[in-house]
Amino acid sequence: MQETVIDVRHVKKNFGPLLVLKDISFRLNKGEVLSIIGPSGSGKSTLLRCITKLETIDSGSISICGEEMVHSENGNVVYAQKERLREIRRHCGLVFQNFNLFPHMSVLSNITEAQRFVLKKSKEASEKTAMELLEKMGLTDKAKAYPCQLSGGQQQRASIARALALNPDVLCFDEPTSALDPELTGEILKVIKDLAKEKMTMMVVTHEMQFAHDISDTVIFMDDGLIVEEGNPKEVFEHPKSERTRKFLMRYEG
Amino acid sequence: MGKLLLQMVQATGTTLEVFFLTLLFALPLGILVAKGRMSKHKIVSGLVNIYIMIMRGTPLILQLIFVYFAPYYLFKASCDRFTAVIIAFVINYAAYFAEIYRGGIQSIPRGQYEASEMLGFSKTHTFVRIICPQVVKRIMPSLANEVITLVKDTALAQTIGVAELFRVAQNASARQFSTAPIFIAGLFYFIMNGIVSKAFDAIEKKLSYYN
């Protein structure tokens, strides 16, 4: 029996009259990589933001690592209590499209801040962890630098290190390469691939089809707030069942 | 002439007292006002908004007169002139500072809050450690403007009879039938603001380690 890390059931979300997520259900198992692809406006980023609770849902339920973050009761959504919610959210790390590093802090402080003040680790222990992660990201020499002195790719690697420092059970990526040029994109994709090799559970919203094809255990194709197709990369990319998926993938083939 | 200069230096002491006491109270009070202005409670933000509108919409000189005389007419009691000056300046400047703070706080990208939230920071931790340091850097130029204006506004304290630099210069000018003391006072203000500018330049430079 595989351990479920993310369990999403019948999630609906609307922005005013606009239904962004219509009825989304899926699971992500421990050690697996899930990619979500689809056209802009299909709701894939919103879905990620609902799972990380940067957005609230309007119906359905979401559990992280077996702990229920939100469920529906008589047509109302009920979120876990504040402290509990905080604990549940700690299972998830998030890497943003625009990195969102703290510009006034050195790369090292960006990574130690949460360890020290959220996990209450000592400064020395936090810095040790941070330096290990920076080494893994190939940024050892940038520890004392400020984010503005780094290239986009280096900033994104630093932000991955920042998220990893809290030891999340699942790492979510919200279009991690959309702000980068092709060369830097490759740099980030390699880091994510390495994490996949270490069996890090990941959920990646991306426009990089080849990448999604190569690293994913499961691929979800979303369109217009619905999951149109779900399966292993071979099925989705090579033998898509739906016409919509076929049309979308056509654009990516040279 | 030597006697006049001595008088003016002494009066500058009063000017500086008004200046520093106003900053001491108005700078932190402005944070509260800004928080109130951005409050989700409609009543709180509405009331604070009215307060800011009055402070910015009426002359400081009128506010000085009001603070000094209104308590007397209302309660038959009043504070001394100097205290009245400080109160009037503090509530007036807090309103201006609040709007500068608000502009700074609202200019911080939402991603900074979201990153903080994802890392598990509390609201207070996010505000104090993540948002404030960035706000301080962004608002320095506007703050410098306001503080320089304050140096010159201290001259209004004479309206309710506080003998600050400009009052002393005017009196001397009237006694001597000469505009010289007033121009000397002008030089004093110019020098004070030169120091203020330099101080802000230094702060901005210190904060320029990132952008």
Distance CA B165, CA B129 (A): 40
pLDDT, chain A, mean = 94
CB pairs under 8 A between A and B: 55
How far A97 CA sits from the closest chain B CA (Å)? 10
Write the pLDDT tens digit of every residue in B4-52.
889 999 999 999 999 999 999 999 999 999 999 999 999 999 999 999 9
Nearest chain B alpha carbon to A162 = B119
CB B146 within 8 A of CB B93: yes
Write the pLDDT tens digit of every residue in A84-139.
999 999 999 999 999 999 999 999 999 999 999 999 999 999 999 999 999 999 99
**A102 neighbourhood in chain B, CB within 8 Å:** 112, 115, 130
pLDDT for the residue numbered A49: 96
Contact B121 A118 (CB under 8 A): yes
How far B208 CA sits from the closest chain A CA (Å)? 10
**Burial label, A15 (beta-carbon count in 10 A; 0-12, 13-18, 19+):** exposed
Average pLDDT over residues A37-64: 95
pLDDT, chain B, mean = 95
Instruction: Tell whether B75 is within 8 A of chain A (Cβ).
Output: no
In which region does residue A7 sit, left (phi positive, over 0), alpha (psi from -120 to 50) or beta (all else)?
beta
CB B98 within 8 A of CB B30: yes
Asked if the model's pLDDT at residue B103 lies above 80, the reply is yes
Contact A162 B119 (CB under 8 A): yes
Q: How many CB atoms lie within 10 A of CB B108?
A: 15
Asked if the model's pLDDT at residue A181 lies above 70, the reply is yes
Write the pLDDT tens digit of every residue in A96-110.
999 999 999 999 999
Distance CA B87, CA A122 (A): 45
Contact B121 A117 (CB under 8 A): yes
pLDDT for the residue numbered A253: 66
pLDDT for the residue numbered B92: 98
**B114 neighbourhood in chain A, CB within 8 Å:** 54, 94, 96, 100
CA A146 to chain CA centroid, nearest Å: 24
pLDDT for the residue numbered A46: 96
pLDDT for the residue numbered B3: 87
* DSSP letter (8 states) at residue A31: T
Cα angle: A205, vertex A189, A215; to 5 degrees: 70
Place of tokens 């005389």: B69
Write the pLDDT tens digit of every residue in B156-186.
999 999 999 999 999 999 999 999 999 999 9
Q: How many CB atoms lie within 10 A of CB A220?
A: 24
Nearest chain A alpha carbon to B211 = A148
How far A109 CA sits from the closest chain B CA (Å)? 11
Asked if the model's pLDDT at residue B192 lies above 70, the reply is yes
Asked if the model's pLDDT at residue B78 lies above 90, the reply is no
pLDDT for the residue numbered B79: 84
CB burial of B148-164 (b: ≥16 within 10 Å; e: otherwise) equals: bebbebbbbbbbbebbb
Quote the pTM value: 0.90
